[in-house]
Structure 1
Amino acid sequence: MKTVVTGCCGFPTARGKYYGVFKTVELQNTFYDLPSVEWASNIRREAPQGFSFAVKAWQVITHPSTSPTWKKMRKKPGGDPGGYGFLKPSRENIQALEKTLEVAKALDAFIIVFQTPASMPFNQDVVKWVDEFFEQAVSMSGGIKYGWEPRGEWARALVLRELLSKHGVIHVTDLLRTRPVFHGGLVYTRLHGLGEGEVNYSYKYTDRDLEELALTLKSMDFNTAYVLFNNVSMLNDASRFKHVCGKVMQGEARVE
């Protein structure tokens, strides 16, 4: 039987209250300023048994030092600034991944999600370095899965399926916009709102939207699907989706 697990990108309410409603969360603070291993261990102990963590990869691996998001970092990483971002197989990126993995392992996280910006260039050189990056990353993973949410030209690249399937990396998409080209039995969707552009965080999902999402999942072949809402009204929308999904699935999937 399929399993559909719903949650939010970040804690939109007190953690104790959140744990009582959902069984998964995608941590967002790991993107802006990578927290300490001690913090991660404390959060793992605090969460109930059976609760699962996803980790959004530290931004220095996916976003170059010129990215506006770097301005929000309190402590910038060392090394060559040019070695960071865009999934380069550089010493700087690999060291940043090692630190991200330490935090993820302390959380007993099941996945690390790399979200690359639309500004990431697409050409044969970049294809080669992404291939090399994931080859190294998989060898370091210790069993933690990787997901990649590309934006811009990379989101439409024909080579994407080949790269993802080669390394067993899950294609992370917004299922109300795009189906994944590879998921290996584990679907991971991040919902950023509908409308023009790739994100619309102020969007509030309608019942019809949520039913369409549930019907899409019902039509797909997978073992487990993680549905993570990433909009202003995510707490309410995620709660409503659990109810809608349960009705649509009608016993064909366990909805959590």
Structure 2
Amino acid sequence: MGTCGFSGKGGRKNYYSTFTAVEVQETFYRPVSTDTLQRWRDEAPSNFEFTVKAFQGITHPASSPTWKRARGLKPTPNHGFFKPSREVLEGWELTRSEAQALGASVIVFQTPPSFGSSEENVLNIDAFFTKIDRGSLILGWEPRGKWYSHTELLEQVLRRHNLVHVVDPFRHMSLVDSKVQYFRLHGIGRGEVNYSYKYTDEDLARLLSTIDSLSASKVYVFFNNIHMFEDALRFKKMVEKK
């Protein structure tokens, strides 16, 4: 368990001593140098786990506001939506190399609500995950938007490409009963994300009960809200107490 991105006072050193894992966010917005990633790996405890959020050039089109944080990178019409383009495949190779530098075994693809369940998008997904070399990596996908109005199709795509269904368990549960479950918590209420939300003790107890009910051998829990460090720490203490 941990947070989406390093958070809390005291920097990475304090984070490493508090949590057992982090979902690296920097890799989504822009390339991160191998030296930086290896330094993070070297300074972390040996049993600390990194997961990687895939580069936005794979999933997000040039119109996405997330590109504003790309620090000078210029998106093209060939970026995003798993398009069968050189740019998207280069984004995959970048993400895979970053995961390797961190010793990460899990990569998460998060698609925007604008990436709907159209025939073209399904064909793009099929082409992308068929073509790439994932090796032993565990790949997860967090769909947003209208995919949940087409759960049968969503489940088919997840199973076809052996993808972990990344979900916020307060909104959806995984459609695939896989050995690995991956939760990203974005706050409760107000659509798909409510970053200002602070989880109550009752919320966290419900989360723990949900995890206890799973047959998975490994569950990742990453908080992604304004109060994520405090909420994750409270949840950690709740788990340890139990």
Fold similarity call, TM over 0.5: yes
Alignment gaps of 5+ in structure 2: none
> Aligned ranges for residues 172-183 of structure 1 at < 5 Å?
172-183=166-177
Amino acid at match of 1:133: F
The question of 1:152 aligning with 2:149 is answered no
Residue in 2 that maps onto 1:128: 123
Report deviation, 1:220.
1.3
The question of 1:166 aligning with 2:172 is answered no
Distance 2:116 2:197 in 1: 29
Distance 1:147 1:38 in 2: 26
Distance 2:34 2:134 in 1: 16
Residue in 2 that maps onto 1:85: 80
Amino acid at match of 1:21: T
Alignment gaps of 5+ in structure 1: 1-5, 251-256
Distance 2:35 2:29 in 1: 17
> Aligned ranges for residues 39-118 of structure 1 at < 5 Å?
39-76=36-73, 81-118=76-113
Amino acid at match of 1:188: Y
Task: Give SS of 1:237's match.
Answer: helix
The question of 1:232 aligning with 2:229 is answered no
**Contact 1:64/1:84 (8 A) holds in 2:** yes
**Contact 1:211/1:245 (8 A) holds in 2:** no
Report deviation, 1:125.
2.0
**Contact 1:145/1:169 (8 A) holds in 2:** yes
Amino acid at match of 2:227: S
Identity %: 45
Residue in 1 that maps onto 2:6: 11
Task: Give SS of 1:209's match.
Answer: helix
Task: Give SS of 1:55's match.
Answer: strand
> Residues 155 and 109 of structure 1: is their aligned pair in 2 closer, same or farther, counting only changes over 3 Å?
farther
1:211 alignment partner, one of 194, 205, 226: 205
Distance 2:177 2:147 in 1: 17
Report deviation, 1:202.
0.7
Amino acid at match of 1:134: F
CA RMSD of aligned residues (A): 1.4
Report deviation, 1:154.
2.0
**Contact 1:33/1:75 (8 A) holds in 2:** no
**Contact 2:81/2:124 (8 A) holds in 1:** no
Distance 1:121 1:100 in 2: 23
Normalized against structure 2, the TM-score is what? 0.94
> Residues 60 and 155 of structure 1: is their aligned pair in 2 closer, same or farther, counting only changes over 3 Å?
farther
**Contact 2:84/2:124 (8 A) holds in 1:** yes
Report deviation, 1:183.
4.9
Task: Give SS of 1:82's match.
Answer: coil
Amino acid at match of 2:111: T
Amino acid at match of 1:94: L
> Residues 88 and 183 of structure 1: is their aligned pair in 2 closer, same or farther, counting only changes over 3 Å?
farther
